[in-house]
Amino acid sequence: MRSSKDFFRPLAVGAPQPVTEIPARPSRAIHFFDPSNEKMAAKIPQMVGTVDVLLGNLEDAVKADNKEAARAGLVRIAKDTDFGPTQLWTRINALDSPWVLDDLTTLVTEIGDKLDVIMVPKVQGAEDIHYIDRILAQLEARAGLDRPILVHAILETARGVANVEEICGASPRMQGLSLGPADLAADRRMKTTRVGGGHPGYLVRQDPDAETPDAPRATFQQDLWHYTIARMVDACAMHGIYPYYGPFGDIADVTACEDQFRNAFLLGCVGTWSLHPKQIEIANRVFAPSVEDIRHAREVVAAMGDGTGAVMLNGKMEDDASLKQCLVMVELAEQLSRIDPNLKAQYDAISTDSEV
């Protein structure tokens, strides 16, 4: 076990000072692209500013024969593009793969100054994060970087879920976690064949009516991912890092995609992955508080004065705890307003309404 005094000392001579807090940068959509796919890669410069995070994916969904082209493509895109307010992330190959060492060495030394976060797949426990932490420090020192690259782990193995709290607390670099429902389903031997989302077979059925026991009974589909997302949210909150939903594979079903994203938002996630350009708009809308919520939250803040005691507002009791919930929403709206002029205009219009 590392001493708490050592936790914020660099892990290599010449490496940058570890961060003591993970900045709350808006990241409603982490948009995946394959840097070896020329059509996709060509679209990246024009996507800057339309999405909070662009992620050059090197792992699953990139063909084995294209791994090196994807890595080289990401280096080229990073060097040639001004990302402005948009963060640049990458997903490296798995730690047991033949590609990961070159992924890390090439990316950190060539474009480490452009990379905000490295996403690590199939993380099993703190030991995987310790490995990444040390090697990143060595490479950052070699590259002469002046700020540490942050680390994001995908929760996509049963062992990873069992170790989720220790993964979140394994390094001051830990920025957040994403749910990986496809690999997680396979690793758990769940009997599903989908990438995220619900399943019509996972349901509860209404009790039979005593008078008409043979009458049809309503069924209610349940959320397969509720348990894992809730565990992930608690582990992240405990360690001051950020939880994200992951992939929603049914690109055509924008309605169910929106529902899955909203469930994650309501449970505490700050964002999600986008696999196709059309999922960006859904994520940007869902992972921002609604105008109605902000209107209500501001009314509660105004009514609560010094923040203590209880008041009645529109027939409902508000107190210190409901005020804290409202402040979460108001702070998120303020952060998003700083980067999204459309949202700013919508939230600003509320003040005008209530002043009239």
Ligand X SMILES: CCC(=O)SCCNC(=O)CCNC(=O)[C@H](O)C(C)(C)COP(=O)(O)OP(=O)(O)OC[C@H]1O[C@@H](n2cnc3c(N)ncnc32)[C@H](O)[C@@H]1OP(=O)(O)O
Annotated binding site for substrate: 91, 156
Residue 184 CB, shortest distance to ligand O=CC(=O)O, in Å, is: 7
When binding is defined by CB under 6 A, the residue of 26, 181, 198, 271 that contacts ligand O=CC(=O)O is 181
Residue 140 CB, shortest distance to ligand X, in Å, is: 26
User: Residue ranges for the binding site?
Assistant: 91, 156, 183
Q: Assign 355 to helix, strand or coil.
A: helix
When binding is defined by CB under 6 A, the residue of 251, 267, 303, 311 that contacts ligand X is 251
Residue 251 interacts with, from ligand O=CC(=O)O, Mg ion, ligand X, none (CB under 5-8 Å by kind): ligand X
CA dist., res. 186 & res. 67, Å (int): 23
Q: Does 340 bind Mg ion (CB under 5 A)?
A: no
Q: Does 64 bind ligand X (CB under 6 A)?
A: no
Q: Compute φ and ψ for 273, nearest 5 degrees.
A: -90, 150
Distance (Å) of CA 133 to CA 11, 12, 152, 309: 8, 10, 11, 45
Q: Does 247 bind ligand O=CC(=O)O (CB under 6 A)?
A: yes
The rounded radius of gyration (Å) of the Cα atoms in the chain is 22
CA dist., res. 111 & res. 145, Å (int): 10
Question: Considering beta carbons, is residue 39 or 189 the nearer one to ligand X?
Answer: 39
When binding is defined by CB under 6 A, the residue of 35, 73, 160, 180 that contacts ligand O=CC(=O)O is 180
Write each residue from 28 to 57 as x if it is in contact with ligand X (CB under 6 A), else as -, in one continuous string: ----xxx----xx--x-------------x
- Provide the greatest CA pair distance for the chain: 78
Residue 265 CB, shortest distance to ligand X, in Å, is: 19
- Residue 64 and residue 97 in contact, taking contact as beta carbons nearer than 8 Å: no
Q: Does 69 bind ligand X (CB under 6 A)?
A: no
- Indicate left, alpha or beta for 319 from its phi (over 0: left) and psi (-120 to 50: alpha): beta
Strand partners, 87: 53
Question: Considering beta carbons, is residue 189 or 205 the nearer one to ligand O=CC(=O)O?
Answer: 189
- Residue 232 and residue 222 in contact, taking contact as beta carbons nearer than 8 Å: no
When binding is defined by CB under 5 A, the residue of 26, 73, 176, 180 that contacts Mg ion is 180
CA dist., res. 89 & res. 119, Å (int): 7
Distance (Å) of CA 302 to CA 311, 318, 322, 355: 11, 11, 13, 13
When binding is defined by CB under 6 A, the residue of 177, 182, 304, 329 that contacts ligand X is 182
CA dist., res. 243 & res. 169, Å (int): 13
Contacts to ligand X by CB under 6 A: 32-34, 39-40, 43, 57, 60-61, 182, 195, 247, 249, 251, 275-277
Contacts to Mg ion by CB under 5 A: 156, 180, 183
Contacts to ligand O=CC(=O)O by CB under 6 A: 60, 154, 156, 180-183, 246-247
